[in-house]
């Protein structure tokens, strides 16, 4: 017997585990408190003994969930994610998770604690006190908490991840807004002669993200081979703007350029060089393709605002969309043209083809119909269609 139960009060029990002897021969014991019935204590004893047998037992600690999340932010997240992502993680942890779960001992947090938090967050989790958080927001909370507790396993602070046993909310995927070919043409034409022309054209012809377009350098562009390399991105944080490398290897990619994009880049490069000579020392040459007039990086939010103002002027000609939706437009148009999903996935820098197909599942029904028509055409000359046997 490596453990036994002692009653401490009417509904309070202590589980005493015998962990053997230390290097000096001193007996090692660990005490666990359990509130409830004796049967509850017996179940907990069984679980702890099973953990001892399987090597997943973690000695109890005074560390709370709140203390641990702060440690995880400081010692793990800060050095492993981008500055922008860290800001988002810190806000979720400090504004939502720590106030709700931070008082719990880390070793005692249970799936039910987490599930209860999700329920409350969905009903009344808004900071202004008016209603609950969206299912998508709570799902972000779940992903962060699960990742943080997964790291606690690696640091041997937990024997299991309680978030693995929790069902997060499943938000409905919003309908994706994309432009058709005619709308795309009208949009691009409306930007000619403006600083929006090249960013919009690159978005609809390459599927690059906003930050990737603003981080693009001329040394990443090969006009002779009609390619560009995505090697970094520009992001906006509370501390300012900064460049970052893609977070995955698939994000670092080479994208083939259509002729319209090559011509636009070549003309833009010539105009930019002349403008740089006119400004002289005032121009800050960072080798950026899409820079401000003085050569400095364009603030990502400013580009989005300019795009929104443009759409306001085009009301009726182009549906209301976000700048990021031009990336979706590019992918959707390629898939509808029969381009292989693997090629589309590589152009977008997605981690897997499965992810690409999941995101753009709205295109699949028309692709299925096209496939059926292709089979009809392929078999039309065989006489199979006239066989009534």
364 within some domain: no
Angle at CA of residue 296, ends 290 and 302, nearest 5° = 65
43 within some domain: yes
Contacts (Cβ under 8 Å, ≥6 apart) of 89: 73, 77, 81, 144
Specify the number of domains making up the chain.
3
Return d(Cα 308, Cα 310) in angstroms, integer: 5
Judge if 48 and 80 occupy the same domain: no
293 within some domain: yes
Last residue of a domain, which of 134, 165, 196? 165
Judge if 187 and 304 occupy the same domain: yes
Answer with the residue of higher pLDDT: 379 or 121: 121
Answer with the residue of higher pLDDT: 163 or 174: 163
Judge if 245 and 317 occupy the same domain: yes
**Both tokens assigned to 137:** 């927001």
Enter the DSSP assignment of 255.
Answer: E
Last residue of a domain, which of 165, 191, 213? 165
For position 122, which CATH number holds? Answer: 1.10.150.130
122 within some domain: yes
Average pLDDT rounded to a whole number, residues 117-134: 91
Least confident of 119-123, 140-144, 214-218, 242-246: 242-246
Would you state the pLDDT for residue 357?
Answer: 86
Is 60 exceeded by the pLDDT of residue 389? no
Last residue of a domain, which of 290, 323, 356? 323
Judge if 259 and 291 occupy the same domain: yes
Give residue 221's domain range: 181-323
Judge if 186 and 137 occupy the same domain: no
27 within some domain: yes
346 within some domain: no
What is the pTM assigned to this prediction?
0.74
The CA-atom distances, in angstroms, between 220 and each of 57, 70, 161, 259, 344 are: 51, 39, 43, 17, 20
Confidence of residue 34 (pLDDT cuts 50, 70, 90): confident
């Amino acid at each position: 017997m490596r453990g036994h139960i002692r009653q401490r009060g009417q509904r309070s029990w202590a589980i005493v585990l015998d962990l053997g002897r230390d290097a000096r021969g001193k007996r090692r014991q660990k005490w666990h408190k359990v509130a409830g019935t004796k049967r509850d204590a017996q179940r907990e004893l069984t679980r702890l003994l099973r953990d001892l047998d399987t090597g997943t037992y973690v000695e109890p600690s005074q560390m709370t969930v709140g203390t641990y999340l702060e440690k995880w932010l400081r010692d793990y997240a800060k050095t492993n994610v981008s500055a922008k992502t860290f800001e988002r993680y810190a806000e979720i942890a400090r504004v939502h998770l720590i106030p709700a779960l931070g008082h719990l001992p880390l070793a005692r947090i249970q799936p039910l604690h987490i599930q209860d938090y999700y329920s409350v967050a969905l009903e009344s989790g808004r900071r202004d006190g008016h209603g609950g958080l969206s299912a998508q927001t709570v799902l972000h909370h779940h992903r962060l908490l699960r990742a943080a507790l997964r790291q606690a396993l690696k640091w041997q602070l937990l024997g299991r991840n309680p978030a693995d046993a929790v069902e997060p909310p499943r938000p409905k995927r919003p309908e994706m807004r994309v432009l058709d070919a005619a709308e795309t043409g009208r949009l691009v034409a409306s930007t000619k002669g403006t600083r929006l022309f090249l960013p919009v054209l690159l978005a609809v012809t390459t599927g690059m993200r906003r930050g990737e377009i603003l981080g693009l350098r001329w040394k990443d562009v090969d006009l002779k081979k009609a390619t560009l390399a995505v090697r970094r991105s520009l992001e906006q944080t509370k501390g300012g703007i900064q460049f970052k490398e893609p977070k995955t290897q698939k994000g670092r990619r080479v994208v083939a350029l259509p002729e319209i994009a090559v011509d636009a880049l070549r003309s833009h490069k010539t105009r930019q060089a002349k403008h740089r000579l006119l400004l002289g020392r005032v121009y800050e040459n960072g080798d950026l393709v899409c820079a401000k007039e003085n050569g400095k990086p364009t603030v990502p939010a400013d580009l989005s605002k300019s795009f929104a103002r443009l759409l306001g002027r085009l009301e009726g000609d182009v549906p209301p969309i976000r700048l990021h939706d031009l990336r979706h437009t590019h992918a959707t148009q390629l898939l509808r043209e029969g381009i292989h999903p693997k090629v589309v996935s590589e152009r977008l820098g997605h981690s897997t083809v499965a992810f690409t197909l999941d995101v753009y599942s709205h295109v699949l029904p028309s692709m299925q119909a096209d496939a059926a028509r292709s089979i009809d055409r392929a078999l039309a000359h065989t006489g199979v269609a006239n066989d009534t046997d």
